[in-house]
């Protein structure tokens, strides 16, 4: 079943007097349970695309269907609600709340979603990402790879259908990167999460089910 579908998606930015076409008619289709890597040169619109399907930003034109719903029709509050319940985000950095410990970071989205037993579940999730012994550490007391794993645990808090990761390993060494990708694969296999991940590394991209290549704001055919 198709979980993400975009048709003729465009996003224009005006920088001074120059119009930038960050997305220039993106048609894409992602099946539920797919693990997708998005690749392409810098500035080709990968992040912009991810932000669109994650409802962090609104397109200039075109359609986005998530789980069969046209999300361009939603208001900002409905989008927030949808992100809370159905989408998990992992950025390259600055993901965590500095003043919250690992477990609190993971609890937070569950508290916002009025989920009971959030503490137990936060522990389970941190166990799952291999940080069961770092529950009460602040982000500043964790390594970059550990921080990304906390972020992944948090993104899973409300059992979202979709995980969106924008260069999640961009800041990590090879070993930590491999660990993260293995974790994604595990989540994908065991929990059926649909994962869309932007990466610059071919090595990592190859671990996905499928690579979508971007160039100049468009999906390259083939």
Ligand X SMILES: Nc1ncnc2c1ncn2[C@@H]1O[C@H](COP(=O)(O)OP(=O)(O)OP(=O)(O)O)[C@@H](O)[C@H]1O
107-112's contacts with Cβ under 8 Å and 24+ in sequence apart are 107/157, 108/154, 108/157, 109/84, 109/154, 109/157, 109/158, 110/157, 110/158, 112/84
CB of 33 or CB of 170, closer to Mg ion:
170
Residues numbered 36 to 55 that lie near Mg ion (CB under 5 A) are 47
CB 109 within 8 A of CB 121: no
- Of the listed pieces 95-103, 119-127, 194-202, 211-219, which binds other proteins according to CB under 8 A? 95-103
Smallest separation, CB 107 to other proteins (Å):
8
Rounded distance, CA 30 to CA 5, Å?
Answer: 6
CB of 19 or CB of 98, closer to other proteins:
98
**Binding footprint of ligand X on the chain (CB under 6 A):** 13, 15, 20, 22, 42-48
Rounded distance, CA 204 to CA 215, Å?
Answer: 19
The answer to the question of residue 95 lying near other proteins (CB under 8 A) is yes
Smallest separation, CB 166 to ligand X (Å):
7
CB of 95 or CB of 194, closer to other proteins:
95
Q: Which residues contact 156 (CB under 8 A, 6 or more apart)?
A: 88, 125, 128, 163, 187, 191, 193
How many residues in the chain?
222
Q: Which residues bind Mg ion (CB under 5 A)?
A: 47
Give me the residues that bind other proteins (CB under 8 A), please: 51, 54, 56-57, 76-77, 80-85, 87, 89, 91, 94-100, 104, 107-109, 111-114, 154-155, 158
């Amino acid at each position: 079943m198709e979980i993400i579908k975009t048709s003729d998606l465009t996003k224009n930015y005006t920088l001074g007097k120059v119009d930038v076409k960050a997305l220039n008619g993106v048609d894409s289709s992602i099946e539920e349970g797919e693990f997708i890597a998005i690749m392409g040169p810098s500035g080709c619109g990968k992040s912009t695309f991810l932000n669109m399907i994650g409802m962090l930003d609104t397109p200039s034109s075109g359609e986005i269907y998530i789980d069969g719903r046209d999300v361009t029709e939603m208001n900002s509050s409905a989008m927030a609600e949808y992100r809370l319940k159905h989408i998990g985000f992992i950025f390259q950095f600055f993901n965590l709340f500095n003043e919250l410990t690992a477990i609190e970071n993971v609890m937070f989205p569950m508290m916002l979603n009025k989920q009971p037993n959030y503490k137990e579940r936060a522990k389970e999730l941190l166990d799952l990402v291999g940080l069961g012994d770092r529950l009460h550490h602040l982000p500043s007391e964790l390594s970059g790879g550990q921080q990304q794993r906390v972020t992944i645990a948090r993104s899973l808090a409300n059992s979202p259908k979709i995980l969106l990761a924008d260069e999640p390993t961009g800041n990590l060494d090879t070993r930590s990167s491999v660990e993260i990708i293995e974790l994604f694969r595990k989540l994908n296999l065991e929990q059926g999460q649909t994962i869309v991940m932007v990466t610059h590394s071919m090595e990592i991209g190859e671990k996905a089910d499928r690579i979508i290549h971007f160039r100049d704001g468009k999906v390259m055919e083939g």
